[in-house]
Structure 1
């Protein structure tokens, strides 16, 4: 028995098991499991249950998001009393049982109810995101002394994982839909839950005590967080408007896009490839994020948002697959930089300490709640119409970001600390700081 074990502490992580790499794998697997079927829900409901009403897809997504929004703070409250890895493993084991039953759901209503239960259980895994951010920021701070660039590196890494997982998830979802019996593929997501539970047990419980994401280990918050709320509310309102418009724009175009692509002759596999093309475009621009951030500063967000909006309008006007491909790639080229700039604006506007960031991130959930209902409503008139709604949302992001309220400056003897992570958005008052959780589409 090691001295750490004899003292009741956590065992050190094994040298052959890099913590950051395993936590990235946890996040990627979670995103793949949660988003794999999202582009194909209309086709899945039609094939399994004969439900072809667009409103059914919108209602399904709305219910799952409501349940996720309610479950997340409950897991946060539980995290005050139980160790992180125990809660996450409990949630994943419950999710594995529900996912195993999901493929046997006899009706659309049963599938929706089981999916909501799966979302509630899987919400526990969002507690693992802060461990990744804290570890990444610690490493980035060791490698470079500039806190601004350390913060940018952490945000860029999250965005990178989101888009890589998005590509993999779309291919997995297309594979599930191509099976002779998609129910087998749906139930197979239980295997992912078991793998995630094993990784959590192996890694998170081995976090050294001084690196666990709690208030005692968090770096000192930037001084701007101490500015009175009455002087910061314009920044908070601006950040909330930008976040809501951005999340809404990305989500509203997703549920029915593959149907639109198939109407243009893409086929099922082609529709899946077209769906993740913006992620490939975003991945191509992410290496330029630091250079663009340094060169353009606050002008990066409106410029990148307008490029992405132009890409969505191009898709709406597309009369064939070549034009649709060009529009998807253009939207993606702007999307990668927009996503990084939005998250950086969240930090710069609200700071990372206190309830301000949590409040803004919770307000952003409104965009995710409204998106499936709006998408289902407009798609009944035209399958391509959600693309114009997405373009309008990104234009709102650009307009809202043009007015730059001055950022409170820290005292000269204290530089802004790099972002430290604790509870993801939506977990009120668990610890003093919070980080943005990866965007997601609930699908199962």
Structure 2
């Protein structure tokens, strides 16, 4: 296996491991510790997001001194140990402590993304980000399916063991890359010794990065606003209480993302609208609005439009990061944008419960659509994602 393929596989293991329990924490805490409070579950999921948000910039700083793959060898091993230790956690407090330590060390695997981008030619960035997006979609679906079956048939401890197995698989692949000499070193001697100066951002560069962070925050907040309640909404709206069908409809955006990637490969010169940011934000807003309909068919059409837009905009925004950044600062800038993306998802999770109680799920879809329209307006008037792809990328760092 070459380096790119191995990193994609490692990313898949990481996503699957993260997804095994993410949809089943209410059942997990009730079965294992007798905790039934929805507030507790929400607080725990929020704590996971905060742990990852805060630790990724720290690991990015460490990666300026230690080669990424060598760092991941140790951090993923530590994550596996914390995960295995949590199997025997006697109380909910000790489980919180051990599992959050696991997520804090595990957050370092996200550094594979900027590391891979640093090695790829700029013209390949869109392709690689598209592949990673599909891996994340499919891994999340597969992990949730495996987690549901494992929890039902083998119990909570087995689910935790599966999560640890994912971390150990990443550790083994890191060791494989190091032992076979496939790791490409990107740090200079000065960087490894800590003597190299940290690249400083110019005011214009900082402005560009913060504007991109705002767009990512608004997009993620709006795009994921109704996700926690979609399965309940679908069954209530259609009267179809079939878990397999519900799961399939929930997975439509991931399936469409895979089709979008195939479309990009099969069509030599895709039409300009296919990845045009403004068009796809408007398409995503339409898709969200259609899901507020009473019609089963319109809900499915809305899921398809939403899935296409979600994939295209995510890829475009991620590629834009690497256009306004420089290779030696990819990891640091990725940590910054990832913080704002996770903040958007975190606030959407809290906001979703409040909005659903206040106005109901259908109107929450409309509010999410309005959020995408606001993102489009801000991009059009203040940042211009597509303009940055049409012209040479603005350097984000001063030498």
Please classify the TM superposition score into its range, dividing by the shorter chain length: 0.7 to 0.9
Q: How does 1:24-423 map to 2 (within 5 A)?
A: 24-105=8-89, 108-135=92-119, 137=120, 141=121, 147=122, 149-179=123-153, 181-204=155-178, 206-207=180-181, 211-214=184-187, 229-232=202-205, 235-263=208-236, 264-289=239-264, 295-296=271-272, 300-318=276-294, 323-349=298-324, 354=329, 359-381=336-358, 382=360, 387-403=365-381, 407=388
* Distance in 2 between residues matched to 1:293 and 1:242, nearest whole Å: 27
* Distance in 1 between residues matched to 2:364 and 2:97, nearest whole Å: 26
Alpha-carbon shift at residue 128 of structure 1 (Å): 2.9
Stretches of structure 1 lacking an aligned partner (at least 5 in a row): 1-16, 142-146, 217-225, 420-428, 434-444
Alpha-carbon shift at residue 346 of structure 1 (Å): 3.1
* Distance in 2 between residues matched to 1:316 and 1:162, nearest whole Å: 26
SS of the residue aligned with 1:92?
Answer: helix
TM-score (norm 1): 0.72
* Distance in 2 between residues matched to 1:50 and 1:392, nearest whole Å: 40
Deviation string, structure 1 residues 404-434 (Cα, Å, up to 9, x no partner): 5565998xxxx76999xxxxxxxxx9xx99x
Alpha-carbon shift at residue 351 of structure 1 (Å): 5.9
Does 1 or 2 have the higher relative contact order (CA < 8 Å, sep 6+)? 1
Deviation string, structure 1 residues 218-271 (Cα, Å, up to 9, x no partner): xxxxxxxx9983445654443222111122234433334334445443344333
- RMSD over aligned CA atoms reads 3.9
Distance 1:252 1:35, change over 3 A: farther
Alpha-carbon shift at residue 319 of structure 1 (Å): 6.1
Distance 1:33 1:238, change over 3 A: same
Deviation string, structure 1 residues 122-171 (Cα, Å, up to 9, x no partner): 12322333443344x2xxx4xxxxx4x32322322222222222332232
* Distance in 2 between residues matched to 1:389 and 1:112, nearest whole Å: 34
8 Å CA contact retained: 2:57, 2:335: no
Deviation string, structure 1 residues 349-400 (Cα, Å, up to 9, x no partner): 5566657665445444431332222233334444566544433332222222
8 Å CA contact retained: 2:213, 2:341: yes
* Distance in 2 between residues matched to 1:349 and 1:29, nearest whole Å: 29
Distance 1:168 1:215, change over 3 A: farther
* Distance in 2 between residues matched to 1:394 and 1:293, nearest whole Å: 27
Distance 1:378 1:85, change over 3 A: same
SS of the residue aligned with 2:228?
Answer: coil
* Distance in 2 between residues matched to 1:370 and 1:394, nearest whole Å: 15
Alpha-carbon shift at residue 26 of structure 1 (Å): 0.5
TM-score (norm 2): 0.79
* Larger helix proportion of the pair: 2
* Distance in 1 between residues matched to 2:335 and 2:58, nearest whole Å: 15
Deviates more, 1:336-345 or 1:116-125: 336-345
Deviates more, 1:87-96 or 1:73-82: 73-82
Distance 1:408 1:277, change over 3 A: closer
* Distance in 2 between residues matched to 1:301 and 1:154, nearest whole Å: 18
Aligned residue for 2:192? Answer: none
